[in-house]
């Protein structure tokens, strides 16, 4: 348990406005950033971290890991973290010199100090490059505009299907073949990155594209599936009920954590559009509430996946990131002032996270726990990620629904 209170016990006062809770959030964010400061190596790469912050050996690094670190430390810079600029510089350099494929264009999934390795080119990884570039621009990094221009060109020419208003997913490294697979996950993170790009650049096209993706999943797919989101589709964007791929990135069925994440993104997009009368808050609430109802275990935590239909648990493992996404979604709903149920859920998730995932000694969050809330390493080793947990601590500190970096700075200051 941490040495700072999560917040007041008075249900009439939202934790989002409670000084004790805001101070707790700020302290946890700083512990996370301090832990991941240790991941930067002398060669400019990033180590995977064990639970105590010591390096874990790995053969290269993934594109999304590099890009997420840039984004996370851009948030950290707005928050006022001293080492943020150093980490952003290293991540931007790694994207340019490690992951950038000078032979074929685009960015490879695996890379090391010697450069890109053979492997597929994934929309999932490329949208995180857009997120990194957008966040770096918000952080006034001198290389941000060049990275934004490059990744925008790659997304335009390779991944964006303008006829459908969606992203395709997977090419061979030389772009000679395109897989028939289409996925919700890459498109959801595409929305996240496009909203960040719109905020950073003011360019309307990013907001419009994010809206087209959201329209497909929340106006066509979700209502036809009882407000659950199938993960996998064929080349014609028909649900593929039999698909099962990588157990972490492409598990079969539906993933409640993704509904929570997409629910928050619906509200962010609606806010950036000027809050039109288009039913977006209602769609967001239906996704979020269905995910909580389906995914929350009676002994705490969110299950990872459900079979299509939502009635049966497929993967009962309890990971940190669905809880962080629930926190972000509920914080957004609370900011709309819709009622006390959201506040009760928000507190429930934070109390569970603080008891089972937050590491008050070394910083960061344990990524996976067993039935007794003890850390385990079935799917993950060490602490592989700062991105999810850092956003869970920083976004509730903002006053608005969108992720303006200056809002994070003001919110953090208000916690002191």
Q: Which residues are catalytic?
A: 258, 388
User: Residue 403: which residues within 8 A CB-CB, separation 6 or more?
Assistant: 75, 195, 196, 199, 268, 395
User: Residue 331: which residues within 8 A CB-CB, separation 6 or more?
Assistant: 16, 346, 395, 396
DSSP state for residue 51 in the 8-state scheme: T
Beta bridge partners of 183: 232
Neighbours of 143 (CB within 10 A): 16
In total, the chain counts a number of residues equal to 416
DSSP state for residue 230 in the 8-state scheme: B
Burial 230-241 (b: 16+ CB within 10 A, else e): bbbbeeeeebbe
User: What angle in degrees, to the nearest 10, is found between the helix axes of 19-37 and 63-79?
Assistant: 130
Number of H helices, E strands in the chain: 14, 14
d(CA 196, CA 190): 10
d(CA 16, CA 334): 8
Torsion sign across C-alpha atoms 310, 300, 250, 128: positive
Q: Which is it for strands 232-233 and 303-306: parallel, antiparallel or unpaired?
A: unpaired
Q: How far is CA 293 from CA 18, 199, 302, 328, in A?
A: 27, 33, 10, 17
d(CA 328, CA 342): 11
How is residue 190 written in tokens?
């595409």
How is residue 235 written in tokens?
């080349």
């Amino acid at each position: 348990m941490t040495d700072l209170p999560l917040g007041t016990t008075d249900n009439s006062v939202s934790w989002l406005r409670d000084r004790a809770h805001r101070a707790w959030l700020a302290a946890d964010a700083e512990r996370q950033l301090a832990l991941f400061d240790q991941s930067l190596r002398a060669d400019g790469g990033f180590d995977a971290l064990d639970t105590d912050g010591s390096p874990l050996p790995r053969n290269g690094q993934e594109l999304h890991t590099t890009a997420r670190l840039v984004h996370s430390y851009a948030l950290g810079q707005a928050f006022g973290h001293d080492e943020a600029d150093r980490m952003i510089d290293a991540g931007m350099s790694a994207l340019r010199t490690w992951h950038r494929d000078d032979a074929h264009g685009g960015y490879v999934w695996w890379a090391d100090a010697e450069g890109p390795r053979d492997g597929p080119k994934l929309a999932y990884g490329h949208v995180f490059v857009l997120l990194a570039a957008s966040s770096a621009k918000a952080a006034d990094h001198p290389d941000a505009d060049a990275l934004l221009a490059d990744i925008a060109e790659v997304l335009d020419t390779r991944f964006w299907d303008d006829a459908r208003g969606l992203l395709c997913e997977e090419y061979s490294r030389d772009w000679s073949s395109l897989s028939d697979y289409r996925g919700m996950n890459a498109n959801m993170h595409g929305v996240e990155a496009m909203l960040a790009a719109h905020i950073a650049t003011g360019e309307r096209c990013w907001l419009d594209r994010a809206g087209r993706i959201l329209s497909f999943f929340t106006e066509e797919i979700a209502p036809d599936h009882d407000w659950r989101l199938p993960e996998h589709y064929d080349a014609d964007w028909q649900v593929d009920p039999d698909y099962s791929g990588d157990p972490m990135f492409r598990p079969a069925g539906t993933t409640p954590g993704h509904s929570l994440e997409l629910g928050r993104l619906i509200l962010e997009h609606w806010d950036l559009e000027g809050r039109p009368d288009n039913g977006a808050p209602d769609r967001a609430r239906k996704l979020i509430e269905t995910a909580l109802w389906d995914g929350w275990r009676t002994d705490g935590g969110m299950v990872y996946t459900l079979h299509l239909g939502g009635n049966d648990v497929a993967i009962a493992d309890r990971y940190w990131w669905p809880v962080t996404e629930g926190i972000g979604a509920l914080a957004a709903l609370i900011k709309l002032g819709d009622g006390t149920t959201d506040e009760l859920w928000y507190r429930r998730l934070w109390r569970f996270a603080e008891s089972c995932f937050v590491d008050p000694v070394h910083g960061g969050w344990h990524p996976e726990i067993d039935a007794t809330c003890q850390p385990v390493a079935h799917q993950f080793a060490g602490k592989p990620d700062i991105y999810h947990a850092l956003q869970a601590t920083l976004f509730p500190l903002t006053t608005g629904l969108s992720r303006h970096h200056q809002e994070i700075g003001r919110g953090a200051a208000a916690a002191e």
